[in-house]
Every structure is written in structure tokens, then in C-alpha cells.
Structure 1
């Protein structure tokens, strides 16, 4: 069920003021989402207590790793540790979401998908007429694409990802960025259904929870030829990791913006399906993070 949210507007209350809700962390946000539909209904028998405990553990592991070690500490569910091609049974389909106003896929102005150079795993720099490199804490994005009906990995699917830079601006659209195309790229899924990108941690800009956009195509050829889109959705980045990254130089404005929103109130993730879009995280501020998500299509 595709939503009709065509833009990413600011959250405004009845007095015309930006909503300012104190950020309370991932566990609070998940509990808020789970309470709306009852945990057993959403997770097919997985208890809410077990879910929250697992999320708390994941957050604590990443926090400890970020402050005390430069070696990545795997978080539960990381795609690199568990991905296989075999069918594993039905899985939840990732929710359909808006591509937002800055997709760069031809649906809102410029189309970068047919440009030579868009098929690449390292998306930190622009290609073509510019070689500008986006600054920020390193982040690897790993999307494991699976058939929701069977759980089998989709091998050779085309995945297009894009997200904002450290200042909350998008290449191709932002002020002074119309000649830049960094933080955008296409990759095929491998033999285990994984598409992997080297990038940077995006900012939190006003009115939205920190996120990464993606589109899934049947294959890379379909992606670069603007073929039919199989799935358009977004990845939510966990609160504990957001706070760690935004405490570093260059992300100062993200601290304020994160404090003015929450996962539960976000226009995209703030429904009873947002729980399926929260990335599993591993790594540290010193060595960079990995954001992994299994995408059922």
C-alpha cells in the first residue's frame, strides 16, 4: 500500500510552531510503536519484553564499542553475519514509502540513474564533472533483499540508495549542490541478496528522523533504464547511534533537530509499520558504522 506523502514537510502544530519533543531514545520509540498494535500482533509471537531487551542490548553494544574501541562490534541481525540465499520462510514485507522530493530518479526533475558512473559501491564522492567527497562519519549500508513470501534471497536485483549529507542537504537539489551527485549509487545484490554501499552517516534535518532512501529494481539494467520500481522505502537509523554520531564535529545542527522529533512522530516511520525499517547497527565512531536491513519485497 503505497503512501501518498510526496514531500518531507516540517512538523507544525496548530499555532504554527515547530513541534519540539524531547528525544527519549530507541527503546522509548519502539515501545510507543509497539503499544499501538500490541507486540504479539506485530511480531507473530515474539514478546515485547524480548524485543525491547534485544534493542537495548544492541544499543548498549554499539555505544560501548563507539566509546571504547575502534574495532566494530557486530550487532544482532547484521546482514554480513547471517545472510544466505536459501529460503527461510515468509518474512515481513518492508513498507512502501515516499521517495521524497529529492530522488534524482527522474520523478522530480533531474535523473541521475542514466548517468555513466552511477553503478558504484562507494558513493561518498561525486562523479562526472565533479569529484567532491562528502564529509562525515563513515557508514556502510547493507540491504539484504528477500522474497517476502518465501524468504529466499533475490540475487541480481538492482538497488538504488540516496541520502542527505552532513549538513542535511541532498546532492542535485541543495543550495550550491546542483552540480554534485554524491551519496547516490546503484548496486546489484550478490549471491546472498546483499547490496552494499560505502557512505557517510546522514544528518538529521528539520522535521524528519535520520534516514536513508532506497529503491529496488528487478536488476541493475532496469534501474539505469528507469524500469519498473519493485519497492520504494526508507531505512530508519537508531536513536542511540544518532546521538553518538551527532556529538562529533560537523553534525552540530543535527543535535538540535534530533531533539525536536522522535521516531514515533516521524511522518514516515511514525506508524505501526516503522518497526520493520529500523537498521541493525554495528561499529564505532572511530572506525565507522554498518547499517543493515533485511528488505522483504
Structure 2
């Protein structure tokens, strides 16, 4: 009588050569007395190991339904997701003449109200709101060597207004402190600021300044700076924004400069500093950049 373990779904006997590894070991053990061959290893342990090997192989080769919320990733996938890769370190750049961090006159970092995500309005004695096309700025800070997200870092960010003026410095806005703010990076190393699209002023490509500190407490105490650099805004988006009312001077100024010829971004064309853009003039844009420090 045929052993039902070695028959197919139609009841036909499976040829010995196709019965698999477990059958081969059982046959070998039966012929040679398992204890003598395997030096005391229990037969059940050996067969269990074979079964585990087969299951692991099947799991590794079976397709995974990534759309299912209950899907369990394979070991290799989990390792891949957990691993971090190195990222390019963002170049050190000048903070420019209008940082308001105490290095060139006024210091806004120790003012109550500077820690905020919406930087469109002034705070303190003035509540003037800077006008312009809406812009969300999402800056993600990572360790350049490991790629690890740097949570809890302090980021101070500032830029010019629609007319190309910097609050606290430029004529007419010396008593304003809009378009400046400090935020703490979240668990993903990201800070998000709500702002307006900056102008292109004479001699510079459109840009946004930032400083990274060890934490917010260090930033507001004007402590050591980890990284000072700038974000470059792409020409395609600049053209669309500068075609709107209030940015007329930017059209002429951008026509006279280039990213490659810019005094800051010119050395490498800003390849590590060009923001990725999403959105529209009507709905507003989001500028995103991941930096290594």
C-alpha cells in the first residue's frame, strides 16, 4: 500500500527522486541508523531543522502583499528599512549681512516669540504680515556619515520679503522682525516653516538662509552653530511666482543672475542645496530639502 505522505493530490505515488529533503533524510536514517551517522543528534531535531529551512526559504521567496496593512515584511526588507545611508554634507555658506543672530548687530534669537513655525508676521511690538505667494519650507537634518535623522536640533531660518528687503536691517523694515523663526526638528529630523516666497534681489540667486544648532536652547542663547548654509530655489518655480503681482522687480533681477554664477551657489551649481518643489501659485508651494551635517 502506498504511503499517503508520498502521494500527490490525485492519489498518484510521487517518484522517490521528487519527495524532497525530509524524505531523503528519513530514508538515509532508516538505512544507516541515525544515531550512528549524526553522532547523537535526535532525528526529530534534524527533521524540524529541515522543515524550518524549507519554511524560511518559502517565506523569503513568496510574494508579499505590500498594500495590506497586516502584511509582515521579510527579514531582508526590515533590515533595509532600518539601515541608514550616508547623505551629502551641505556646504558651509555665509550667513550674509542680515542674520540677526548677534554676529552683525541686532540679535533676534533671544527675543520672546522667535520660536515659532509661522514666520509670516512680525512679533512683539509689531504684527505686520509679509505678503506674497505662500511657501512652506520643510528642512530635514541628517547625520552626513550615517544618514540618521537628527531629532531635537534647533534650526533658525530667515529670508527676504517680496520686495527683497530683510527685516531688522533694510530701509523701511528696521522695526519689523518677520520672516525669521526657530523650530526644533521632529523625530524625522524635519522642521517646517510657514512663510512666503522670497524675492530675487540684485546680485543674488533666490535663496533662504538657515543655521543648525545642537538644540533650541542653544539657538536662543546664541550658542555655537553646527551648520550655516542656504537653500536655493529652482528657476522653474521662480519664473511662475515672479510673474505674479508684487514680484515685478524679481523678474528683472533674476534675468541678470544665474545659479551657476551666483557668489554662493556658483562653485558647485548648488547641487546640494536646490529645494524640491511641489504645489502651485494659487495653492502655495512647498520647498523641501534634506541636508547632511
Q: State TM-score, norm by structure 1.
A: 0.71
2:165 maps to which of 166, 169, 176: 169
Is 1:252 the equivalent of 2:248?
yes
SS in 2 for 1:265: coil
**1:129-148 to 2 correspondence within 5 Å?**
129-148=125-144
| Corresponding position of 1:238 | 234
Instruction: Measure the CA separation in 2 of the matches of 1:166 and 1:259.
Output: 17
**Aligned-pair CA distance for 1:87:** 5.2
Q: Which consecutive segments of 4 or more residues in structure 1 shift more than 4 A? A: none
Which aligned pairs between 1:174-189 and structure 2 lie closer than 5 A?
Answer: 174-189=170-185
Q: What is the number of equivalent residue pairs in this alignment?
A: 213
Counterpart for residue 70 of structure 2:
none
CA RMSD, Structure 1 to Structure 2 (Å): 1.0
Structure with max Cα Rg: 2
* Structure 2 residues without counterparts, runs of 5 or longer: 1-80
Q: Does 1:97 align with 2:93?
A: yes
Q: Write out per-residue CA displacement over residues 135-188 of structure 1, whole angstroms, 9 at most, x where no aligned residue.
A: 000000000000000000000000000000000000000101111000000000
What secondary structure sits across from 1:202 in the alignment?
A: coil
CA drift of 1:86 comes to 5.5
Quick one: distance in 2 between partners of 1:266 and 1:86?
A: 38
**Structure 1 residue ranges without an equivalent (≥5):** 1-84
SS at match of 1:257: helix
Does 1 or 2 have the higher relative contact order (CA < 8 Å, sep 6+)? Answer: 1
The within-5 A match list for 1:1-297 is: 88-272=84-268, 274-297=270-293
Within 1, Cα distance between the matches of 2:189 and 2:224?
19
User: Conserved in 1, the CA contact under 8 Å of 2:120 and 2:196?
Assistant: yes
Q: CA deviation at 1:273?
A: 6.1
| Post-superposition offset of 1:88 | 1.8
Quote the Cα distance in structure 2 between the aligned partners of 1:213 and 1:122: 16
State TM-score, norm by structure 2.
0.72
